[in-house]
């Protein structure tokens, strides 16, 4: 876990300080943001009239250490729509607390973001899924053993006991699926399960997670979705299926395969987001 000193100011005040720094660097305002997962960060390079801010320049942001996560907040335009894009995220397995992992989501909310697109690279549990296909997340299973809302609750962010019945907005799922069909992109619906990592799951663990009803598995997204819903943001999740999980395939799982598959679907993924974002 993080060894940094416990901050003496409130989470809300720290998020507000970060938001003020970002506002001082760009005049672009947006109500939509996207978090780009492993191998998918190239989408942020498509933004025009963009301002890129390194995470280490933003107060309270951690440092992205994983290959495929550039570690920048890019605010600009995609077509006629303004967008904030997190080019990489922080993970629990990097040694950060879940408060640190989800801190950028708090900041995005204070910047005026109301709709959050969460993307990730994930392993397929559903045998119908193939590497390179996409899955819109219908629900999640938190198998990380911890919740990002544990600790004092600040009512300025949201209620003590937020409802997660519709963690991923059904109407936004429909938007993603309709746009995927329009461009002939193979896309599924499914449940995403999150474990801590960083080791990939064993075949026995995958068997357990499949029996719980998950279709894909990864090491992120769920804490961000919980915090976003705590603040009443609308969430849509998209998983890039980069590999078959252990036990689903005999092939060993490695991160290079994850990155390579993300790069392979970059063009289709970018086109999908180009079409989806104006409708959000």
Encode pLDDT of 67-123 as tens digits: 655 799 999 999 999 999 999 899 999 999 999 999 999 999 999 999 999 999 899
Is 131's pLDDT higher than 70? yes
Beta strands in the chain (DSSP E): 32-36, 48-54, 72-78, 81-87, 115-124, 134-142, 187-194, 216-218, 234-244
H-assigned helices in 123-202: 170-182
**How would residue 204 be classed by pLDDT, with cut points 50, 70 and 90?**
very high
What are the pLDDT digits (tens) for 138-153?
A: 999 999 999 999 999 9
- Any catalytic annotation for residue 91? yes
Phi first, then psi: give them for residue 240, nearest 5 degrees: -90, 115
Query: Where do the domains of the chain lie, and which CATH numbers do they carry?
Result: 11-279 (3.40.50.1580)
Q: Which of 91, 120, 200, 230 is labelled catalytic? A: 91
- Any catalytic annotation for residue 93? yes
Q: Which of 84, 219, 231, 245 is labelled catalytic? A: 219
**How would residue 39 be classed by pLDDT, with cut points 50, 70 and 90?**
confident
CA distance 239 to 58: 27
- Any catalytic annotation for residue 200? no
Mean pLDDT of 224-238: 98
DSSP 277: G
Residue tagged 């519709």 (tokens): 166
3 state SS of 183 = coil
Give the pLDDT score at 132: 86
Q: Which of 85, 121, 180, 228 is labelled catalytic? A: 121
Is 51's pLDDT higher than 70? yes
Q: Quote the mean pLDDT of the chain.
A: 91
Give the pLDDT score at 69: 53
Q: Which of 69, 85, 144, 168 is labelled catalytic? A: 69
- Any catalytic annotation for residue 144? no
Give the pLDDT score at 249: 65
- Any catalytic annotation for residue 271? no
- Any catalytic annotation for residue 44? no
What are the pLDDT digits (tens) for 255-268?
A: 676 677 777 777 88
Q: Which of 120, 220, 233, 246 is labelled catalytic? A: 220
Give the pLDDT score at 174: 97
Q: Which of 15, 18, 38, 201 is labelled catalytic? A: 38
Q: Which of 255, 260, 263, 271 is labelled catalytic? A: 255
- Percentage of residues in the chain having pLDDT higher than 90: 75
- Any catalytic annotation for residue 179? no
> CB-based contacts of 95: which residues, under 8 Å, 6+ apart?
1, 2, 3
- Any catalytic annotation for residue 121? yes
- Any catalytic annotation for residue 94? yes
pTM of the model: 0.92
Residue 51 and residue 76 in contact, taking contact as beta carbons nearer than 8 Å: yes
């Amino acid at each position: 876990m993080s060894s940094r000193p416990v901050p003496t100011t409130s989470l809300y005040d720290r998020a507000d300080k970060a938001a003020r720094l970002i506002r001082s660097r760009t005049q672009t305002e947006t109500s939509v943001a996207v978090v780009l997962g492993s191998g998918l960060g190239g989408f942020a390079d498509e933004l025009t009239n963009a301002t890129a801010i390194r995470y280490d320049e933003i107060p309270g942001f951690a440092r992205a250490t994983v290959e495929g996560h550039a570690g920048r907040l890019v605010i600009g335009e995609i077509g006629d729509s303004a967008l904030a894009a997190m080019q990489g995220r922080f993970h629990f397995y990097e040694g950060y607390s879940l408060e640190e992992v989800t801190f950028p989501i708090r900041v995005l909310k204070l910047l005026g973001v109301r709709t959050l697109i969460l993307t990730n690279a994930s392993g397929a549990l559903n045998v119908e899924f193939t590497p390179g296909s996409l899955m819109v997340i219908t629900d999640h299973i938190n198998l990380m053993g911890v919740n990002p809302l544990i600790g004092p609750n600040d009512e300025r962010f949201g209620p003590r006991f937020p409802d997660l019945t519709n963690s991923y907005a059904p109407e936004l799922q429909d938007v993603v699926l309709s746009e995927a069909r329009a461009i002939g992109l193979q896309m599924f619906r499914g449940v995403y399960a999150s474990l801590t990592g960083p080791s990939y799951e064993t075949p026995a663990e995958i068997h357990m997670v499949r029996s719980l009803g998950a279709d894909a598995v990864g090491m992120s997204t769920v804490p961000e979705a919980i915090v976003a819903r705590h603040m009443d943001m609308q969430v849509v999740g998209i998983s890039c299926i980069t590999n078959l999980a252990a036990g689903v395939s005999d092939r060993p799982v490695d991160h290079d395969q994850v990155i390579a598959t993300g790069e392979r679907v970059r063009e289709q993924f970018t086109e999908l987001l180009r079409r989806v974002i104006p409708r959000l």
